[in-house]
Protein backbone atom coordinates (compact mmCIF):
# COMPACT_ATOMS: atom_id res chain seq x y z
CA UNK A 1 0.00 0.00 0.00
CA UNK A 2 1.36 3.41 -0.99
CA UNK A 3 1.47 6.24 1.53
CA UNK A 4 -0.37 9.28 0.19
CA UNK A 5 -0.35 11.98 2.88
CA UNK A 6 -3.74 13.37 3.80
CA UNK A 7 -4.07 17.17 4.13
CA UNK A 8 -3.57 17.11 7.89
CA UNK A 9 -0.58 14.77 7.54
CA UNK A 10 1.08 17.19 5.13
CA UNK A 11 0.79 19.89 7.77
CA UNK A 12 2.28 17.58 10.42
CA UNK A 13 5.13 16.47 8.16
CA UNK A 14 5.99 20.05 7.27
CA UNK A 15 6.05 21.02 10.96
CA UNK A 16 8.29 18.08 11.91
CA UNK A 17 10.76 18.65 9.08
CA UNK A 18 11.06 22.37 9.74
CA UNK A 19 11.44 22.14 13.52
CA UNK A 20 14.17 20.03 15.17
CA UNK A 21 12.23 20.50 18.42
CA UNK A 22 8.56 19.87 17.69
CA UNK A 23 5.40 18.71 19.40
CA UNK A 24 2.12 17.62 17.83
CA UNK A 25 -0.89 18.22 20.08
CA UNK A 26 -3.12 16.51 17.56
CA UNK A 27 -6.45 14.79 18.13
CA UNK A 28 -6.59 11.02 17.94
CA UNK A 29 -7.21 9.45 14.55
CA UNK A 30 -5.50 12.09 12.38
CA UNK A 31 -2.54 9.89 11.40
CA UNK A 32 0.29 11.09 13.65
CA UNK A 33 2.22 7.80 13.46
CA UNK A 34 2.29 7.59 9.65
CA UNK A 35 3.20 11.28 9.35
CA UNK A 36 6.05 10.74 11.82
CA UNK A 37 7.35 7.71 9.93
CA UNK A 38 7.29 9.62 6.66
CA UNK A 39 9.22 12.45 8.30
CA UNK A 40 11.79 9.98 9.64
CA UNK A 41 12.26 8.37 6.20
CA UNK A 42 12.68 11.82 4.66
CA UNK A 43 15.28 12.85 7.24
CA UNK A 44 17.19 9.59 6.80
CA UNK A 45 17.09 9.97 3.01
CA UNK A 46 18.48 13.51 3.40
CA UNK A 47 21.24 12.20 5.70
CA UNK A 48 20.02 14.47 8.48
CA UNK A 49 19.53 11.60 10.93
CA UNK A 50 20.69 8.00 11.22
CA UNK A 51 17.54 6.73 12.82
CA UNK A 52 15.06 7.33 15.64
CA UNK A 53 14.37 6.09 19.15
CA UNK A 54 10.62 5.76 19.70
CA UNK A 55 9.32 5.73 23.27
CA UNK A 56 5.68 4.63 23.54
CA UNK A 57 3.15 2.87 25.79
CA UNK A 58 3.65 -0.89 25.73
CA UNK A 59 0.80 -1.89 23.42
CA UNK A 60 1.55 0.96 21.02
CA UNK A 61 5.24 0.01 21.01
CA UNK A 62 4.49 -3.65 20.31
CA UNK A 63 1.62 -3.31 17.84
CA UNK A 64 1.04 0.14 16.37
CA UNK A 65 4.50 1.20 15.20
CA UNK A 66 5.54 -2.15 13.64
CA UNK A 67 2.12 -2.37 11.96
CA UNK A 68 2.47 1.12 10.50
CA UNK A 69 5.90 0.28 9.10
CA UNK A 70 4.57 -2.86 7.41
CA UNK A 71 1.43 -1.13 6.15
CA UNK A 72 3.07 1.21 3.65
CA UNK A 73 5.60 0.40 0.93
CA UNK A 74 7.53 3.61 1.64
CA UNK A 75 8.39 2.44 5.17
CA UNK A 76 9.07 -1.27 4.72
CA UNK A 77 12.77 -0.75 3.97
CA UNK A 78 13.38 0.38 7.56
CA UNK A 79 14.63 -2.14 10.11
CA UNK A 80 12.97 -2.16 13.53
CA UNK A 81 14.57 -3.21 16.82
CA UNK A 82 12.59 -4.06 19.94
CA UNK A 83 14.80 -2.78 22.75
CA UNK A 84 13.05 -4.97 25.32
CA UNK A 85 14.77 -8.01 23.83
CA UNK A 86 18.44 -9.12 23.80
CA UNK A 87 18.49 -9.09 19.99
CA UNK A 88 17.05 -5.59 19.99
CA UNK A 89 19.84 -4.41 22.29
CA UNK A 90 22.34 -6.18 20.03
CA UNK A 91 21.01 -4.26 17.04
CA UNK A 92 21.29 -1.05 19.09
CA UNK A 93 24.92 -1.90 19.90
CA UNK A 94 25.82 -2.41 16.24
CA UNK A 95 23.61 0.37 14.87
CA UNK A 96 21.82 -2.23 12.76
CA UNK A 97 18.34 -0.69 12.63
CA UNK A 98 16.60 2.54 11.75
CA UNK A 99 13.84 2.48 14.35
CA UNK A 100 14.45 1.44 17.95
CA UNK A 101 11.28 1.04 20.02
CA UNK A 102 10.96 0.87 23.80
CA UNK A 103 8.05 1.28 26.21
CA UNK A 104 7.88 3.81 29.04
CA UNK A 105 8.15 1.21 31.80
CA UNK A 106 11.55 0.05 30.49
CA UNK A 107 12.90 3.55 29.93
CA UNK A 108 14.62 4.02 33.29
CA UNK A 109 16.55 0.76 32.91
CA UNK A 110 17.45 1.62 29.32
CA UNK A 111 18.76 5.04 30.36
CA UNK A 112 21.00 3.71 33.12
CA UNK A 113 22.47 0.55 31.59
CA UNK A 114 25.66 0.44 29.55
CA UNK A 115 23.74 -1.52 26.94
CA UNK A 116 21.37 1.41 26.43
CA UNK A 117 21.81 5.16 26.60
CA UNK A 118 24.74 4.84 28.99
CA UNK A 119 26.89 3.37 26.23
CA UNK A 120 30.13 5.12 25.37
CA UNK A 121 30.57 6.94 22.09
CA UNK A 122 27.90 8.06 19.67
CA UNK A 123 24.37 6.74 19.76
CA UNK A 124 23.08 4.82 16.73
CA UNK A 125 20.26 7.39 16.41
CA UNK A 126 20.00 11.15 16.66
CA UNK A 127 16.23 11.61 16.91
CA UNK A 128 13.86 10.73 19.77
CA UNK A 129 10.09 10.43 19.42
CA UNK A 130 7.86 10.56 22.50
CA UNK A 131 4.60 8.87 21.56
CA UNK A 132 1.81 9.80 23.99
CA UNK A 133 3.98 12.57 25.41
CA UNK A 134 1.47 13.12 28.23
CA UNK A 135 2.90 9.96 29.82
CA UNK A 136 5.80 12.27 30.79
CA UNK A 137 3.58 14.83 32.55
CA UNK A 138 4.90 14.02 36.04
CA UNK A 139 7.89 16.26 36.85
CA UNK A 140 9.06 13.84 39.56
CA UNK A 141 9.05 10.75 37.32
CA UNK A 142 12.19 8.67 37.83
CA UNK A 143 12.26 7.44 34.24
CA UNK A 144 12.10 11.00 32.89
CA UNK A 145 14.81 12.15 35.30
CA UNK A 146 16.94 9.24 34.08
CA UNK A 147 16.51 10.37 30.46
CA UNK A 148 17.18 14.10 30.88
CA UNK A 149 21.02 13.84 31.14
CA UNK A 150 20.97 12.14 27.73
CA UNK A 151 18.65 14.62 26.06
CA UNK A 152 21.41 16.67 24.39
CA UNK A 153 22.75 13.57 22.64
CA UNK A 154 19.82 13.78 20.21
CA UNK A 155 19.61 16.38 17.45
CA UNK A 156 15.87 16.12 16.98
CA UNK A 157 13.05 15.84 19.51
CA UNK A 158 9.42 15.12 18.71
CA UNK A 159 6.45 14.69 21.05
CA UNK A 160 3.05 13.28 20.04
CA UNK A 161 -0.13 13.47 22.11
CA UNK A 162 -3.82 14.15 21.79
CA UNK A 163 -4.18 14.91 25.51
CA UNK A 164 -1.46 17.43 26.48
CA UNK A 165 -3.11 18.58 29.73
CA UNK A 166 -5.31 15.75 31.02
CA UNK A 167 -5.59 17.51 34.38
CA UNK A 168 -3.82 20.88 34.58
CA UNK A 169 -1.52 23.37 32.85
CA UNK A 170 1.07 22.30 35.43
CA UNK A 171 1.56 19.16 33.35
CA UNK A 172 2.86 21.10 30.33
CA UNK A 173 6.28 22.01 31.75
CA UNK A 174 7.67 18.45 32.16
CA UNK A 175 6.54 17.59 28.63
CA UNK A 176 7.95 20.72 27.01
CA UNK A 177 11.23 20.29 28.92
CA UNK A 178 11.76 17.00 27.08
CA UNK A 179 11.09 18.60 23.71
CA UNK A 180 12.92 21.95 23.93
CA UNK A 181 15.14 21.51 26.99
CA UNK A 182 13.31 24.19 28.95
CA UNK A 183 13.50 27.01 26.38
CA UNK A 184 9.78 27.73 26.52
CA UNK A 185 8.70 26.95 30.09
CA UNK A 186 12.01 26.63 31.90
CA UNK A 187 13.99 23.62 33.05
CA UNK A 188 12.93 23.79 36.70
CA UNK A 189 9.38 22.77 37.58
CA UNK A 190 9.28 24.62 40.89
CA UNK A 191 10.31 27.90 39.25
CA UNK A 192 7.74 27.37 36.50
CA UNK A 193 5.03 26.80 39.10
CA UNK A 194 6.01 29.87 41.15
CA UNK A 195 6.11 32.05 38.04
CA UNK A 196 2.76 31.10 36.53
CA UNK A 197 0.63 29.82 39.45
CA UNK A 198 -0.70 30.90 42.83
CA UNK A 199 -1.29 28.41 45.64
CA UNK A 200 -3.69 28.23 48.52
CA UNK A 201 -2.36 28.80 52.03
CA UNK A 202 -1.63 25.09 52.43
CA UNK A 203 0.31 24.88 49.16
CA UNK A 204 -1.86 22.06 47.80
CA UNK A 205 -4.03 23.71 45.16
CA UNK A 206 -2.43 25.75 42.40
CA UNK A 207 -4.33 28.11 40.10
CA UNK A 208 -3.13 30.07 37.10
CA UNK A 209 -2.17 33.68 37.72
CA UNK A 210 -3.86 36.41 35.65
CA UNK A 211 -2.65 36.28 32.03
CA UNK A 212 -0.46 33.21 32.81
CA UNK A 213 -2.50 30.98 30.54
CA UNK A 214 -2.00 33.28 27.55
CA UNK A 215 1.72 33.68 28.29
CA UNK A 216 2.23 29.89 28.49
CA UNK A 217 0.41 29.40 25.19
CA UNK A 218 2.49 32.09 23.46
CA UNK A 219 5.75 30.58 24.69
CA UNK A 220 5.03 27.05 23.50
CA UNK A 221 3.27 28.03 20.25
CA UNK A 222 6.42 28.06 18.03
CA UNK A 223 7.14 24.46 19.01
CA UNK A 224 3.62 23.03 19.11
CA UNK A 225 1.28 22.21 16.23
CA UNK A 226 -2.38 21.65 17.08
CA UNK A 227 -4.94 20.03 14.79
CA UNK A 228 -8.48 19.13 15.72
CA UNK A 229 -10.34 16.14 14.36
CA UNK A 230 -13.47 18.09 13.41
CA UNK A 231 -11.40 20.17 10.97
CA UNK A 232 -10.41 17.14 8.91
CA UNK A 233 -12.40 14.01 9.72
CA UNK A 234 -15.96 13.17 8.82
CA UNK A 235 -16.83 11.16 11.93
CA UNK A 236 -20.50 10.52 12.79
CA UNK A 237 -21.83 12.53 15.72
CA UNK A 238 -21.30 11.46 19.31
CA UNK A 239 -23.99 11.83 21.96
CA UNK A 240 -23.28 11.76 25.69
CA UNK A 241 -26.20 10.46 27.76
CA UNK A 242 -26.10 10.66 31.54
CA UNK A 243 -28.29 7.91 32.96
CA UNK A 244 -29.90 8.91 36.26
CA UNK A 245 -29.34 6.12 38.80
CA UNK A 246 -31.06 7.71 41.77
CA UNK A 247 -30.61 6.37 45.28
CA UNK A 248 -33.77 5.65 47.27
CA UNK A 249 -34.00 7.98 50.25
CA UNK A 250 -32.70 5.47 52.89
CA UNK A 251 -29.63 4.70 50.77
CA UNK A 252 -28.97 8.38 50.11
CA UNK A 253 -29.17 9.11 53.85
CA UNK A 254 -26.71 6.28 54.47
CA UNK A 255 -24.39 7.79 51.88
CA UNK A 256 -24.61 11.21 53.53
CA UNK A 257 -23.94 9.74 56.97
CA UNK A 258 -20.86 7.93 55.72
CA UNK A 259 -19.68 11.10 53.98
CA UNK A 260 -20.03 13.02 57.23
CA UNK A 261 -18.82 10.47 59.81
CA UNK A 262 -16.24 8.59 57.66
CA UNK A 263 -17.43 5.32 59.19
CA UNK A 264 -20.01 2.72 58.19
CA UNK A 265 -20.88 -0.80 59.28
CA UNK A 266 -22.18 -3.39 56.85
CA UNK A 267 -23.05 -6.52 58.75
CA UNK A 268 -19.86 -7.63 60.47
CA UNK A 269 -17.70 -5.45 58.24
CA UNK A 270 -16.53 -1.98 59.19
CA UNK A 271 -15.70 0.56 56.48
CA UNK A 272 -13.45 3.47 57.48
CA UNK A 273 -12.19 6.41 55.39
CA UNK A 274 -9.09 7.82 57.10
CA UNK A 275 -8.16 10.61 54.68
CA UNK A 276 -10.00 12.88 52.26
CA UNK A 277 -8.62 10.92 49.30
CA UNK A 278 -9.72 7.65 50.89
CA UNK A 279 -13.19 9.11 51.46
CA UNK A 280 -13.59 10.06 47.80
CA UNK A 281 -12.48 6.56 46.82
CA UNK A 282 -14.95 4.95 49.22
CA UNK A 283 -17.80 7.20 48.09
CA UNK A 284 -17.10 6.24 44.49
CA UNK A 285 -17.26 2.58 45.48
CA UNK A 286 -20.51 3.31 47.31
CA UNK A 287 -22.16 4.68 44.16
CA UNK A 288 -20.90 1.72 42.15
CA UNK A 289 -22.61 -0.73 44.51
CA UNK A 290 -19.95 -2.30 46.75
CA UNK A 291 -17.09 -1.33 49.07
CA UNK A 292 -13.80 -2.86 50.13
CA UNK A 293 -13.20 -3.15 53.86
CA UNK A 294 -9.81 -2.94 55.56
CA UNK A 295 -9.06 -6.57 54.65
CA UNK A 296 -10.04 -6.03 50.99
CA UNK A 297 -13.22 -8.04 51.41
CA UNK A 298 -16.17 -6.87 49.32
CA UNK A 299 -19.31 -5.61 51.04
CA UNK A 300 -22.25 -5.39 48.62
CA UNK A 301 -24.59 -2.41 48.98
CA UNK A 302 -26.89 -2.24 45.95
CA UNK A 303 -27.22 -3.30 42.31
CA UNK A 304 -28.81 -0.12 40.94
CA UNK A 305 -26.14 0.42 38.28
CA UNK A 306 -26.33 -3.24 37.27
CA UNK A 307 -30.07 -2.82 36.71
CA UNK A 308 -29.52 0.39 34.74
CA UNK A 309 -26.98 -1.37 32.52
CA UNK A 310 -29.37 -4.27 31.93
CA UNK A 311 -32.02 -1.83 30.78
CA UNK A 312 -29.60 -0.17 28.33
CA UNK A 313 -28.50 -3.58 27.02
CA UNK A 314 -32.14 -4.60 26.44
CA UNK A 315 -33.10 -1.29 24.83
CA UNK A 316 -30.22 -0.91 22.36
CA UNK A 317 -29.71 -4.62 21.63
CA UNK A 318 -26.21 -3.94 20.29
CA UNK A 319 -22.65 -4.76 21.41
CA UNK A 320 -21.61 -2.69 24.43
CA UNK A 321 -18.11 -1.59 25.46
CA UNK A 322 -18.20 -1.16 29.25
CA UNK A 323 -15.64 0.68 31.40
CA UNK A 324 -15.31 -0.36 35.02
CA UNK A 325 -13.13 1.13 37.76
CA UNK A 326 -12.76 -1.47 40.54
CA UNK A 327 -12.06 -5.20 40.47
CA UNK A 328 -15.26 -5.92 42.34
CA UNK A 329 -17.16 -4.24 39.50
CA UNK A 330 -15.54 -6.62 37.04
CA UNK A 331 -16.63 -9.61 39.10
CA UNK A 332 -20.16 -8.29 39.54
CA UNK A 333 -20.52 -7.48 35.83
CA UNK A 334 -19.37 -10.95 34.75
CA UNK A 335 -21.81 -12.49 37.24
CA UNK A 336 -24.74 -10.33 36.15
CA UNK A 337 -24.07 -10.71 32.41
CA UNK A 338 -23.01 -14.31 31.62
CA UNK A 339 -22.46 -13.37 27.97
CA UNK A 340 -20.02 -10.55 28.86
CA UNK A 341 -16.33 -11.04 28.16
CA UNK A 342 -13.37 -9.46 29.92
CA UNK A 343 -11.07 -7.58 27.55
CA UNK A 344 -8.14 -9.41 26.01
CA UNK A 345 -6.28 -8.78 22.77
CA UNK A 346 -7.23 -12.26 21.53
CA UNK A 347 -10.88 -11.17 21.77
CA UNK A 348 -10.49 -8.21 19.40
CA UNK A 349 -11.12 -10.06 16.08
CA UNK A 350 -14.44 -11.39 17.43
CA UNK A 351 -15.37 -7.97 18.82
CA UNK A 352 -14.74 -6.24 15.50
CA UNK A 353 -16.95 -8.83 13.78
CA UNK A 354 -19.78 -7.95 16.16
CA UNK A 355 -19.70 -11.38 17.82
CA UNK A 356 -19.20 -10.13 21.42
CA UNK A 357 -22.42 -8.72 22.96
CA UNK A 358 -20.56 -7.03 25.81
CA UNK A 359 -16.85 -6.43 26.36
CA UNK A 360 -15.76 -5.01 29.71
CA UNK A 361 -12.41 -3.55 30.70
CA UNK A 362 -10.54 -0.96 32.71
CA UNK A 363 -9.83 2.28 30.77
CA UNK A 364 -6.10 1.88 31.49
CA UNK A 365 -6.17 -1.42 29.57
CA UNK A 366 -8.44 -0.41 26.69
CA UNK A 367 -6.82 2.70 25.33
CA UNK A 368 -3.81 3.63 23.22
CA UNK A 369 -3.42 1.77 19.96
CA UNK A 370 -6.70 -0.18 19.80
CA UNK A 371 -9.19 0.07 16.91
CA UNK A 372 -12.57 -1.15 18.11
CA UNK A 373 -14.85 1.01 15.97
CA UNK A 374 -15.97 -1.86 13.75
CA UNK A 375 -17.45 -3.83 16.64
CA UNK A 376 -19.84 -1.36 18.23
CA UNK A 377 -21.08 2.16 18.75
CA UNK A 378 -22.10 2.23 22.41
CA UNK A 379 -19.78 2.98 25.34
CA UNK A 380 -20.91 2.51 28.94
CA UNK A 381 -19.16 4.21 31.84
CA UNK A 382 -20.22 2.05 34.78
CA UNK A 383 -18.03 4.25 36.99
CA UNK A 384 -16.38 7.42 35.73
CA UNK A 385 -12.66 8.11 36.02
CA UNK A 386 -11.06 11.34 37.23
CA UNK A 387 -8.47 11.09 34.46
CA UNK A 388 -9.42 13.06 31.37
CA UNK A 389 -6.71 11.22 29.45
CA UNK A 390 -8.18 7.79 30.23
CA UNK A 391 -11.67 9.13 29.53
CA UNK A 392 -10.74 10.50 26.10
CA UNK A 393 -8.61 7.52 25.13
CA UNK A 394 -11.31 4.99 26.04
CA UNK A 395 -13.99 6.90 24.13
CA UNK A 396 -11.67 7.21 21.13
CA UNK A 397 -11.66 3.42 20.68
CA UNK A 398 -15.09 3.77 19.03
CA UNK A 399 -15.20 7.48 18.17
CA UNK A 400 -12.58 7.43 15.44
CA UNK A 401 -12.00 7.17 11.71
CA UNK A 402 -13.84 4.16 10.32
CA UNK A 403 -16.85 4.45 12.63
CA UNK A 404 -19.94 4.21 10.43
CA UNK A 405 -22.62 5.07 12.97
CA UNK A 406 -23.43 7.74 15.53
CA UNK A 407 -21.79 6.83 18.82
CA UNK A 408 -23.48 7.01 22.20
CA UNK A 409 -21.54 7.40 25.45
CA UNK A 410 -23.73 6.27 28.34
CA UNK A 411 -22.62 7.43 31.82
CA UNK A 412 -24.27 5.83 34.86
CA UNK A 413 -24.45 8.65 37.43
CA UNK A 414 -25.96 8.79 40.89
CA UNK A 415 -27.20 12.40 41.31
CA UNK A 416 -26.03 14.51 44.26
CA UNK A 417 -23.04 12.26 44.90
CA UNK A 418 -19.37 12.05 43.98
CA UNK A 419 -20.47 10.90 40.50
CA UNK A 420 -21.72 14.43 39.79
CA UNK A 421 -18.43 15.91 41.01
CA UNK A 422 -16.38 13.67 38.71
CA UNK A 423 -18.59 14.45 35.71
CA UNK A 424 -18.10 18.17 36.37
CA UNK A 425 -14.34 17.74 36.79
CA UNK A 426 -14.15 15.89 33.46
CA UNK A 427 -16.11 18.68 31.77
CA UNK A 428 -13.77 21.37 33.13
CA UNK A 429 -10.65 19.41 32.14
CA UNK A 430 -12.07 18.84 28.68
CA UNK A 431 -12.78 22.55 28.24
CA UNK A 432 -9.26 23.43 29.38
CA UNK A 433 -7.70 20.97 26.95
CA UNK A 434 -9.89 22.08 24.06
CA UNK A 435 -9.19 25.71 24.96
CA UNK A 436 -5.44 25.11 24.88
CA UNK A 437 -5.61 23.58 21.41
CA UNK A 438 -7.80 26.37 20.06
CA UNK A 439 -5.55 29.04 21.57
CA UNK A 440 -2.41 27.48 20.11
CA UNK A 441 -4.16 27.16 16.76
CA UNK A 442 -4.86 30.90 16.83
CA UNK A 443 -1.42 31.97 18.05
CA UNK A 444 0.60 29.94 15.61
CA UNK A 445 0.42 30.79 11.89
CA UNK A 446 1.30 27.87 9.64
CA UNK A 447 0.84 26.94 5.99
CA UNK A 448 -1.75 24.18 5.72
CA UNK A 449 -0.92 23.55 2.08
CA UNK A 450 2.85 23.21 2.55
CA UNK A 451 4.49 20.57 0.38
CA UNK A 452 6.66 17.83 1.82
CA UNK A 453 10.32 17.53 0.98
CA UNK A 454 10.02 14.27 -0.96
CA UNK A 455 7.57 12.54 -3.21
CA UNK A 456 6.60 9.37 -1.29
CA UNK A 457 7.35 7.21 -4.33
CA UNK A 458 11.02 8.24 -4.19
CA UNK A 459 11.43 6.47 -0.85
CA UNK A 460 10.33 3.00 -2.02
CA UNK A 461 13.73 2.05 -3.38
CA UNK A 462 15.81 2.85 -0.31
CA UNK A 463 17.61 -0.23 1.04
CA UNK A 464 18.55 -0.96 4.64
CA UNK A 465 22.20 -0.52 5.54
CA UNK A 466 22.05 -2.96 8.45
CA UNK A 467 24.46 -5.80 9.15
CA UNK A 468 23.26 -8.80 7.10
CA UNK A 469 23.45 -11.46 9.82
CA UNK A 470 21.13 -9.62 12.18
CA UNK A 471 17.38 -10.27 11.68
CA UNK A 472 15.25 -7.43 10.40
CA UNK A 473 12.68 -8.12 13.11
CA UNK A 474 14.07 -9.20 16.49
CA UNK A 475 12.42 -12.21 18.02
CA UNK A 476 10.74 -12.06 21.42
Are the C-beta atoms of residues 161 and 22 closer than 8 Å to each other? no
CB 165 within 8 A of CB 432: yes
- Helix (H) / strand (E) containing 470: none
> Which residues does 166 contact at the CB level (< 8 Å), separation at least 6?
134, 137, 387, 388, 389, 390, 392, 429, 433
Instruction: Give 450: exposed, middle or buried? Use CB within 10 Å, 0-12, 13-18, 19+.
Output: middle
CA–centroid distance for 31 within its chain: 15
What is the pLDDT tens value at each position of the chain, 476 positions in all?
A: 889 899 999 999 999 999 999 999 998 888 899 999 999 999 999 999 999 999 999 888 888 899 899 999 999 999 999 999 999 999 999 999 999 999 999 999 999 988 899 888 889 999 999 999 999 999 999 999 999 999 999 999 999 998 898 888 999 999 999 999 999 999 999 999 999 999 876 667 888 999 899 999 999 999 999 988 888 888 888 999 999 999 999 999 999 988 887 777 776 676 777 777 788 888 999 999 998 877 778 888 999 999 999 999 999 999 999 999 999 999 999 999 999 999 988 898 999 999 999 999 999 888 777 788 899 999 999 999 988 889 998 998 898 878 889 999 999 999 999 999 999 999 998 888 888 888 887 765 433 333 344 444 444 444 433 322 233 333 33
Task: Give the residue from 211, 171, 178 showing the smallest Cα distance to 192.
Answer: 171
CB atoms within 10 A of CB 3: 22
Question: Is the pTM here over 0.85, yes or no?
Answer: no
Contact present, 159 and 132 (Cβ < 8 Å): no
Q: Is residue 213 a contact partner of residue 169, using CB atoms and an 8 Å limit?
A: yes
Query: Which residue, among 64, 12, 440, has the nearest Cα to 217 in the 3D structure?
Result: 440
DSSP-assigned letter for residue 171? G
Amino acid sequence: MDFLPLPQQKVMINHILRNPEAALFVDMGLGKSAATLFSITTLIADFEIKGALIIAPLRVALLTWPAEVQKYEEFKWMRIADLRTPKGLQMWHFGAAHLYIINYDMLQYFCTTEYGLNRRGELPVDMVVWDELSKAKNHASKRIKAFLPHRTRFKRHLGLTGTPIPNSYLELQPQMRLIDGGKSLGANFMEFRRHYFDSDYMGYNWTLKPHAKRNIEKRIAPTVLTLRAEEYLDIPKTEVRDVDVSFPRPLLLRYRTFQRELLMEIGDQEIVAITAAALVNKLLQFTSGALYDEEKLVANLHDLKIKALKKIADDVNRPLLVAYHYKHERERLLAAFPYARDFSESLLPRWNKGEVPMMIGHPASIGHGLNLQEGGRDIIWFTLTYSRELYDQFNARLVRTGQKYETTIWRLIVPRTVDDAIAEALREKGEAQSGLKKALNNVRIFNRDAKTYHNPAQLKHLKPSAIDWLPSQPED
